[in-house]
């Protein structure tokens, strides 16, 4: 049988050419022999004898030694295949072959030892690595894939390569290659546990930059006796230094109320896990000061350079201050995280900043030909009132001005009627977004009021058309902000944008004449946003209201403007009566939009009403309007509803916030609010 197998073996390729080379040379020699006969007869006979002898020897060796040569070739091939198999079996790299159904058909010793599987393991690879599902296997388009997986505490990079069996089928006498598309998958495991640990350790040791600002430094010092002020400062310095030193960090005081901090990344992670408890620790410093000291913290992390981390830190602390202070912001190239922000920002006693901003605004407006004023979508009383105030400033500086409103809601219609029906005011005082785009020129300044998010503005396209932009707002800043603003005046402590504009009016120009109708609008904005002077009301709020009263604002006229009809009153009452008390402290309800022109306003009013229930820390009212669910969130002082709404894609104030949800039913919206509350309570953000 061995001889039969050898007889069937056919030699081909270079080996066949090498073995037959002597025969081919003999034939060439025979041809030359014929030529010798033509030259010399005796030489031809002599060469013929040599050729015959040569052919005899060659044929003898060729046929007699062929079995020996084939036997050696078969032995070599067998031994070579065994060596290859042994080398692959004992290869230190874990290796396995899978069939097209992800079933293991062969493994080497390293694979069995690393994954603790027996020899002859024939189960699916998914039983070892659940993450490797059939859709993760390399397809025809992608011949090789890789993935990072964890198994028994070790981290691996798994590479899978698709091996087509078409060529094998083409040379096989058993399998027909026609329509055959079989394949195997070679799987390699690379243990990168040590490398990943080293990379993580190196990452944890990378340096981050931080900035710590005292929010109310001046106000806190004024609330304590002069002889004790140095002690208060020393105690705060000691608290900050001791806290950062415990994290193996470096802190350097730059100014009387500013600190520069260097921390390792793992220390920042520890801070984040502790939810920046330094915010609360600083508040415990009390030597008789009536006002607790609060801090704002900005951290820059994972930047490409130290200077980039520093820029991240500066941006973060500015964002923390813009959101009202008493909070920490961590900025990385991918995301921004917020911590704290549980207390109301303290109202500044001085109006120096308002005067500086007023002079800057005057310079900007006088350098332009026209002014366009824009608020947020679905303008409310505060937005329109502030726009009217800016319109009056522009007119006092002899500049053409326009207010952009696309849709006049029922809440602002009583106010807009004061100007539309008054001959004193131009017909194009109020324009829509399309007309505003036509009016916008290179020398036009755009003033954005009562909003600092580009996506929420009445006409976002205007932000691209106007090169000079001014932002006036009292909402806390979020991740999305209006970039490249020439002047930005965002004060979260202000009760309303109308309050800010009223202060600016007093410094913009000597003898600015505010008409009674305009004063009514701004007074209305303050009254609505403070819920009749009950929330977020400070000394400067009443000073702004007093200024507007001197300008002719009439409380009785304002009250008449905002009397509501019976349907709105009943709808709000229904929303309050149907409220669900969730987790003892949170009131959740829905507001019907049927028969209402501005159901979102009624929903906001219902949310305010729910706070009158004893024990309620925050209220949420959902209103479905124009295929969108509007959520109005309100609180008094214990819960930061802004952070809750930011989790859901919205924003606002610490005590007044909201968001919009599309593609959800009201029931799904309520479920999402509950899930958000559950998650934040579990994480410790809500207590």
Q: Which pLDDT belongs to residue 192?
A: 84
- In whole angstroms, what is the distance from residue 490 CA to residue 500 CA? 9
> Residue 189: inside a domain, yes or no?
yes
Same domain? 362 vs 332: no
Angle between helices 413-420 and 516-529 (to 10 degrees): 170
Q: Give which of 87, 312, 68 is closest to 211, Cα–Cα.
A: 312
* CATH number for the domain harbouring residue 517: 3.90.1640.10
Same domain? 215 vs 183: no
Total domains in the chain come to 5
* CATH number for the domain harbouring residue 157: 3.30.450.20
Residues 6+ positions from 580 with CB-CB distance below 8 Å: 587, 588, 589
Residues 6+ positions from 645 with CB-CB distance below 8 Å: 631, 633, 651, 652, 657, 658, 659
Structure tokens at 673: 């609010």
First to last CA, the chain: 87
Q: Which domain holds residue 40?
A: 2-88
Rg (CA), the chain: 41
> Residue 71: inside a domain, yes or no?
yes
C-beta separation of 323 from 341 below 8 A = yes
> Quick one: DSSP state of residue 344?
P
φ, ψ dihedrals at 636, nearest 5°? -100, -65
Same domain? 381 vs 315: no
> Quick one: DSSP state of residue 531?
T
Same domain? 382 vs 488: yes
Model confidence, pTM: 0.58
C-beta separation of 104 from 96 below 8 A = yes
- In whole angstroms, what is the distance from residue 526 CA to residue 545 CA? 8
Same domain? 231 vs 144: no
φ, ψ dihedrals at 42, nearest 5°? -70, -35
Residues 6+ positions from 228 with CB-CB distance below 8 Å: 287, 288
Could you tell me where the beta strands, DSSP code E, fall in 301-454? 327-331, 336-340, 370-374, 400-404, 430-431, 444-449
Q: Are strands 144-151 and 154-164 parallel, antiparallel or unpaired?
A: antiparallel
Same domain? 101 vs 8: no
> Residue 345: inside a domain, yes or no?
no
Residues 6+ positions from 493 with CB-CB distance below 8 Å: 324, 344, 345, 346, 347, 348, 474, 538
C-beta separation of 435 from 407 below 8 A = no
Cβ burial of 276 (10 Å; 0-12, 13-18, 19+) is buried
* CATH number for the domain harbouring residue 279: 3.30.70.270
Q: Which pLDDT belongs to residue 6?
A: 45
Q: Which pLDDT belongs to residue 178?
A: 52
Same domain? 401 vs 506: yes
Residues of the chain with pLDDT under 50: 1-6, 8, 172-177
**CB crowding 533-551: b at 16 or more within 10 Å, else e:** eebbbbebbeebbebbeeb
Same domain? 277 vs 395: no
Q: Where are the alpha helices (DSSP H) in 205-225?
A: 217-222
> Residue 347: inside a domain, yes or no?
no
Q: Which pLDDT belongs to residue 327?
A: 87
Question: Which helix (H) or strand (E) covers residue 321, if one does?
Answer: helix 306-322
Q: Which pLDDT belongs to residue 516?
A: 92
> Residue 346: inside a domain, yes or no?
no
> Residue 211: inside a domain, yes or no?
yes
* CATH number for the domain harbouring residue 599: 3.10.310.30
Q: Which pLDDT belongs to residue 347?
A: 56
The CA–CA distances, whole Å, from 330 to 167, 214, 264, 275, 301 equal 57, 17, 14, 11, 7
Structure tokens at 432: 């829509």
Same domain? 510 vs 637: no
Question: Which helix (H) or strand (E) covers residue 661, if one does?
Answer: strand 656-662
Q: Which pLDDT belongs to residue 355?
A: 87
Structure tokens at 279: 């915010």
Q: Which pLDDT belongs to residue 71?
A: 65
Q: How many CA atoms lie within 13 A of 381 on its CB side?
A: 25
Q: Which pLDDT belongs to residue 72?
A: 64
- In whole angstroms, what is the distance from residue 571 CA to residue 563 CA? 15
Same domain? 513 vs 381: yes
C-beta separation of 480 from 454 below 8 A = yes
Strand, helix or coil for residue 124 = strand
The CA–CA distances, whole Å, from 398 to 280, 394, 403, 418 equal 50, 6, 16, 22
- In whole angstroms, what is the distance from residue 328 CA to residue 319 CA? 9
Strand, helix or coil for residue 137 = coil
- In whole angstroms, what is the distance from residue 2 CA to residue 422 CA? 115
Q: Which pLDDT belongs to residue 449?
A: 95
Q: Which pLDDT belongs to residue 308?
A: 92
Q: Which pLDDT belongs to residue 176?
A: 47
C-beta separation of 288 from 296 below 8 A = no
Place of tokens 């901003």: 357
Question: Which helix (H) or strand (E) covers residue 587, if one does?
Answer: strand 586-591
- In whole angstroms, what is the distance from residue 380 CA to residue 409 CA? 8
Place of tokens 């608020």: 375
C-beta separation of 588 from 555 below 8 A = no
**Sign of the four-CA dihedral 24, 27, 29, 35:** negative
Angle between helices 352-366 and 497-508 (to 10 degrees): 70
- In whole angstroms, what is the distance from residue 587 CA to residue 622 CA? 11
Domain C-terminal end among 151, 168, 199 = 199
Same domain? 415 vs 555: yes
Domain C-terminal end among 177, 199, 221 = 199
Same domain? 17 vs 50: yes
Domain C-terminal end among 543, 561, 579 = 561
């Amino acid at each position: 049988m061995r001889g039969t197998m050898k007889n069937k073996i056919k030699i081909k390729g270079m080996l066949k050419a090498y073995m037959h080379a002597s025969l081919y040379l003999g034939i060439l020699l025979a041809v030359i022999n014929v030529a010798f006969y033509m030259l010399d007869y005796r030489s031809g006979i002599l060469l013929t004898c040599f050729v015959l002898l040569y052919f005899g020897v060659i044929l003898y060796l060729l046929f007699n030694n062929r079995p020996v040569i084939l036997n050696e070739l078969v032995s070599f091939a067998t031994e070579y295949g065994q060596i290859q198999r042994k080398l692959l079996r004992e290869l230190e790299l874990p290796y396995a072959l899978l069939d097209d159904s992800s079933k293991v058909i062969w493994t080497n010793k390293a694979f069995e030892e690393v994954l603790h599987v027996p020899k002859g393991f024939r189960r699916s690879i998914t039983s070892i690595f659940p993450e490797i599902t059939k859709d993760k296997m390399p397809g025809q388009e992608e011949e090789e894939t890789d993935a990072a997986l964890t198994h028994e505490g070790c981290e691996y990079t798994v590479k899978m390569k698709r091996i087509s069996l078409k060529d094998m089928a083409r040379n096989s006498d058993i399998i027909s290659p026609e329509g055959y598309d079989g394949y195997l998958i070679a799987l390699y495991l690379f243990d990168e546990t040590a490398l990943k640990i080293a990379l993580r350790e190196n990452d944890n040791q990378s340096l981050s930059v931080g900035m710590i600002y005292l929010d109310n430094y001046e106000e806190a010092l004024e609330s304590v006796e002069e002889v004790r002020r140095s002690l208060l400062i020393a105690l705060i310095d000691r608290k900050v230094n001791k806290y950062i030193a415990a994290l193996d960090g470096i802190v350097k005081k730059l100014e009387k109320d500013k600190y520069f901090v260097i921390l390792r990344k793992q220390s920042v992670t520890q801070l984040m896990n502790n939810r920046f408890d330094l915010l609360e620790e600083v508040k415990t410093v009390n030597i008789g000061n009536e006002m607790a000291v609060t801090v704002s913290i900005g951290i820059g992390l994972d930047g490409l350079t130290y200077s980039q981390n520093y820029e991240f830190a500066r941006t973060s602390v500015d964002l923390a201050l813009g959101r009202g202070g008493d909070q920490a912001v961590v900025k990385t190239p991918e995301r921004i995280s917020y911590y704290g922000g549980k207390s109301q920002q303290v109202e500044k006693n001085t109006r120096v900043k308002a005067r500086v901003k007023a002079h800057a605004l005057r310079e900007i407006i006088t350098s332009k030909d026209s002014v366009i004023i824009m608020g947020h979508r679905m303008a409310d009383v505060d937005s329109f009132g502030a726009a009217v105030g800016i319109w009056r400033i522009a007119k006092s500086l002899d500049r053409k001005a326009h207010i952009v409103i696309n849709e006049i809601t029922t809440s602002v219609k009583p106010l807009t009627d004061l100007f539309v029906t008054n001959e004193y005011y131009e017909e194009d005082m109020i324009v829509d977004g399309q007309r505003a785009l036509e009016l916008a020129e290179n020398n036009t300044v755009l003033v954005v009021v009562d909003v600092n998010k580009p996506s929420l503005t009445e006409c976002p396209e205007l932000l691209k058309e106007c090169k000079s932009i001014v932002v006036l707002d009292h909402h806390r800043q979020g991740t999305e902000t209006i970039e490249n603003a020439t002047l930005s005046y965002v004060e979260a402590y202000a009760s309303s944008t109308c309050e800010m504009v009223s202060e600016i009016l007093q410094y913009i120009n000597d003898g600015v004449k505010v008409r009674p109708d305009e004063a009514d609008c701004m007074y209305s904005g303050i009254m609505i946003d403070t819920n009749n002077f009950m929330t977020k009301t400070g000394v400067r709020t009443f000073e702004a209201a007093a200024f507007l009263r001197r300008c002719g604002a009439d409380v009785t006229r304002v009250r008449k403007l905002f009397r509501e009809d019976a349907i709105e009153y009943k709808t709000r009452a229904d929303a309050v009566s149907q409220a669900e008390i969730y987790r003892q402290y949170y009131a959740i309800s829905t507001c019907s939009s049927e028969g209402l022109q501005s159901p979102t306003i009624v929903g906001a009013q219902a949310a305010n009403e729910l706070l009158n229930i004893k024990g309620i820390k925050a209220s949420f009212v959902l209103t479905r309007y124009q295929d969108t669910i509007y959520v109005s969130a309100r609180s008094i002082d214990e819960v930061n509803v802004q952070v809750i709404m930011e989790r859901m894609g919205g924003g606002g104030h610490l005590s007044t916030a909201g968001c919009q949800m599309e593609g959800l039913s009201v029931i799904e919206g309520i479920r999402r609010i509950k899930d958000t509350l559950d998650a934040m309570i579990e994480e410790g953000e809500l207590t």
